[in-house]
Amino acid sequence: MKYILSAIIVVFFSSFSLSLSAEKSRYDEPYPTANSKKGLQVEMVEDALALGVKHAALNFNITQLIDPNSDPDNPRWVKDGREYYFNRTYLNKIDSSIKRLSDRGVLVNLIVLAYQSGNAQINKLILHPKAARERPNPLCAFNTVTEDGRRWFVAIMEFIAERWSHPEKKNGRVVGYIIGNEVNSHWWWSNMGRVTMKEFTTDYLRTMRLAHGAVRRQSSWARVYISLDHHWNIRYEAGDEGQTFAGRPFITYFAELAKDGGDFDWHLAFHPYPENLRNPKFWNDQSATKKTDTPRITFKNLRMLTTHMKKSEMLYQKQQRRIILSEQGFDTPKVPDGEKVQAAAYCYAYKLVESIDGIDSFILHRHVDHRNEGGLLLGLRRWDKGNPKKKIYDCFRFADTPEWEAAFEFALPVVGIKKWP
């Protein structure tokens, strides 16, 4: 019986995918371009603009977005004869950031997330029904399991894709949607309970298809991304095999399963943090090798990622899927020259990324140090009063300008190299 059901699902998704490819998008434009790969997970919009960012990533929590009580003063979306309402206060806040950035030519990506809320009705609609109660973080996988969950998820994605793809750009423009966070370590960042890799992949593929279809009905150019961390041939060591998966077998199986059901143009948002998040000297990473069985992919061996994504089984219509580096940063060691080491790591990483074809952006995490990030100090600015700038700030500012060489020169002896890639 399960084999018959699997066959039915494959046929359904094949037909579904083919119908999507034939369906014309509401808004049809080419994907926009940027003149550098410099990006930031933005917290202070005006500061980001002063820094000259070309790419931005913003967290977007859909449990804050929806209004299941249907307040008539809230914006609504009609789908298949049903009305869906959305929180205008949350929308206005995110609109403001998106518009100020995109009006200045910044390519904005949303990291679409599902945080546990204090509202049981919202949680039931949005959070995966198998999300573990004992999960370490309030982040869950999306509920595309129940009929109501699927309807709401599709309505959300259609609504935001239309809103932020409209040619008038009155609410700003979004060019990409990252679905979940570091899903190969799902127990921490996209929880759906203890599951096998194949079970998780099947569920996540359904969510990705729904997201892609919803976005593509509105926008011909906006991209939809998978999110992976740096664990490539090993899983996150803090979890067991029902909680975390190695990235390489996960994405390879995802690609295989997607083709079986009718392929679509999904892309990859990768996080090549150093092997030890507390040591920014990624050039010394021992678990990042140039072999196919490398345990991790960090900045040290980043070309291993593009090499894998160029394999025939990973292509879409004979073209390489796009890669963005949507979250990674460098700790500031608590030593006298800590800021210098952090800044040097950014300089070296930026030049490495700049030299690699197939990677569209390097979006740094984070803008300002966070008091509750496990003691990590990853920001361009400190969290002290006034958010004073660290040494990395000017390195970031000048990275894609004619002044980059002078700004980066100090880093060469820190890294131990004589010239940049």
Q: What pLDDT is recorded for position 17?
A: 43
At 157-176, the pLDDT tens digits run: 999 999 999 999 999 999 99
Dist. CA 386–CA 8, nearest whole Å:
59
User: Which whole number is the average pLDDT over 234-258?
Assistant: 97
At 86-116, the pLDDT tens digits run: 999 999 999 999 999 999 999 999 999 999 9
What is the band of 7 on the pLDDT scale with cuts at 50, 70, 90? very low
> For the chain, what is the mean pLDDT?
94
pTM, to two decimals: 0.94
Flag whether pLDDT at 13 surpasses 80.
no
Q: Which domains does the chain have, with CATH numbers?
A: 33-415 (3.20.20.80)
User: Which whole number is the average pLDDT over 400-410?
Assistant: 98
Q: Shortest CA distance to 222 belongs to which of 178, 170, 257, 278?
A: 178
Provide the percentage of residues in the chain whose pLDDT is more than 90: 94
Flag whether pLDDT at 292 surpasses 80.
yes
At 16-48, the pLDDT tens digits run: 444 444 579 999 999 999 999 999 999 999 999
Flag whether pLDDT at 327 surpasses 50.
yes
CA dihedral 20, 55, 387, 230 (to 10 degrees): 70
192 alpha carbon, distance to own chain's centre: 18
At 115-151, the pLDDT tens digits run: 999 999 999 999 999 999 899 999 999 999 999 999 9
Q: What pLDDT is recorded for position 98?
A: 98
Q: What pLDDT is recorded for position 75?
A: 98
Flag whether pLDDT at 193 surpasses 90.
yes
Q: What pLDDT is recorded for position 23?
A: 74
At 362-374, the pLDDT tens digits run: 999 999 999 999 9
User: Which whole number is the average pLDDT over 1-16?
Assistant: 41
Flag whether pLDDT at 11 surpasses 90.
no
What is the band of 3 on the pLDDT scale with cuts at 50, 70, 90? very low
